[in-house]
Amino acid sequence: MVLLTNMQKTNQNLIKIAELLSDGHYHGGTCVGAHLNISRAAVWKALKKLEQYGISLESTKGKGYLLKSPLILLSKEKIQSLLNLLEKDSELRNQKRAEIDPVVKKALQIEIFEKIDSTNDYLKENLKNSNSKKIRVCLAETQSQGKGRLGRSWYSPFGQNIYLSTLYPFEKDVSELTGLSLVVALSICDAICLMLPSYRKDLFVKWPNDVYINDSKLAGTLIEIQAESNGFCRAIIGIGINVNMTKASKSDINQNWSSLKQVTREYLDRNKLCAHLIMCLMNYLRRFSCDGLSCFLDEWKERDVLLGRMVALSSGGREHKGMCVGINAQGHLLLESSDGPVRAYSSGDTTLLK
Ligand code: BTN
């Protein structure tokens, strides 16, 4: 059992103050308070909190405060209204990309935390209290114990990236979920493509579930599965996307990484990306639930960053090297070694050799 000790739902004043101070102008504490109908002390408390979260504020006597770089915090209302707008988008509807099944939509429950240990652990802890048909989505501004694959940690600075977990029920046996992580990675690419269509050809997937851009990691997925009875199980699907982060030390992230801001040179409103992500994720999960992996194989091939390249796979304490020749129908990685046949691997961690 995981004990969650460090969680707090997002404070609405914090969202409004951050937005107000993001316009590049100074704002006096009294004006901010009057604008939001809160006391000066409440404004001061919120500003202190932002500083504690590592947000750089500038304050000048007689002028007030401003944020050194913009900070648009996550808002459930914004995400929900953006989701409604996306659903009405006729072009997306024609492409069948904007459909959230009405049943799924009714079952969808979104929660946003200002801070949490880990969004995956939160959903895991609450499994017993969750209606088995509900699809829960949990987002956080920062995670104090963000988890990566294979026991690694996931760097989760405040207000910069997306840390999202969803609890999704499947009327399937656990054994039928092979390939789920690949489908989730493809849904992340689709969401980013919808937001930033000119980067469509730059987004790749790295087996089994990373999203890559310029040979650097942009997003990762951590899936934890809870087997239940009679061909029913629930998956906790955790997604981390580097969005506005521009700095991290080697000890924070020790591999090549990138963020959408580094690539586009623009600050992105994460609310928009969250709405696109939730829509695409729900869409891809529904298709996977109905038809399995087969309908995603062509899409994987188009985005496979490893295809035709030399790869090292570390699996079960051993390293295997070979040329990647794609994936099989189960989503297993196919490597052709220099001295033998093509072998399929069901799990492990891949590194591009060149
Ligand atoms: C990886 O590539 O190693 C997987 C990274 C998964 C990170 C996400 S962030 C939201 C969710 N909560 C966590 O603690 N981890 C996942």
141 band by pLDDT with thresholds 50, 70 and 90: very high
pLDDT digits 0-9 by tens, 108-117: 889 999 999 9
Dist CA 142 CA 163 (whole Å): 8
Task: For residue 258, report the distance from its CA to the centre of ligand 1, in Å.
Answer: 16
pTM (predicted TM-score): 0.93
Segment holding 281, helix H or strand E: helix 270-291
pLDDT digits 0-9 by tens, 70-93: 999 999 999 999 998 888 776 766
Q: Are 98 and 87 in contact (CB under 8 A)?
A: yes
Any residues with Cβ below 6 Å from ligand 1, and which?
A: 118-120, 143, 146-149, 152, 154, 163-165, 210, 220-222, 238-240
Task: For residue 151, report the distance from its CA to the centre of ligand 1, in Å.
Answer: 10
Dist CA 13 CA 42 (whole Å): 8
The set of residues, in sequence order, having a beta carbon less than 8 Å from that of 328 and lying 6+ positions away, is 334, 344
Q: Which of the pair, 221 or 105, is modelled with greater confidence?
A: 221
Residue with tokens 């997002």: 10
Dist CA 274 CA 74 (whole Å): 9
The minimum-distance atom of ligand 1 relative to the CA of 150 is: 3
Residue 3: per-residue pLDDT: 58
Task: For residue 222, report the distance from its CA to the centre of ligand 1, in Å.
Answer: 5
